[in-house]
Amino acid sequence: MGVIPYCSEKSDSVELYALLKPIRKIGNIGTDEVVIFRVVFDDNKETTLVVEDDEETMNAVYDKYKELFMKKFRGGGQE
């Protein structure tokens, strides 16, 4: 669905989050749900996606996604 930069009140740095939506039901995750991953870069410049499990962070990242999505599709976004 998208990659969202987000800086929480708990951190001074911007983290990247990937929002993915399953195309079919996976376990207890329905197709109407979103899974939020934190993008982690290690010292070797390898990238790993880690499922975000902090509810406050998940809600804030999803709210940021909705804000950016609405801005883009209501004519306020830049290409």
Per-residue pLDDT band for 62 (boundaries 50, 70, 90) equals: very high
Q: Can you tell me whether residue 4 is helix, strand or coil?
A: strand
* pLDDT band with cut points at 50, 70 and 90 for residue 54: very high
Q: Where are the domains of the chain?
A: 2-6+15-76
CA angle 2, 40, 30 (to 5 degrees): 45
List alpha helices for the chain, DSSP H.
55-71
Rounded to the nearest angstrom, the gap between the alpha carbon of residue 23 and the centroid of all alpha carbons in its chain is 17
What is the pLDDT at residue 78?
A: 52
Q: Which residues lie below 8 Å from residue 7, measured CB to CB, with a gap of 6+?
A: 13, 14, 15
pTM of the predicted structure, to 2 decimals: 0.77
Band of the pLDDT at 47, cuts 50, 70, 90? very high
Where residue 49 falls among pLDDT bands split at 50, 70, 90? very high
Whole-number Cα distances in Å, 9 to 21, 28, 34, 51, 52: 26, 30, 23, 20, 16
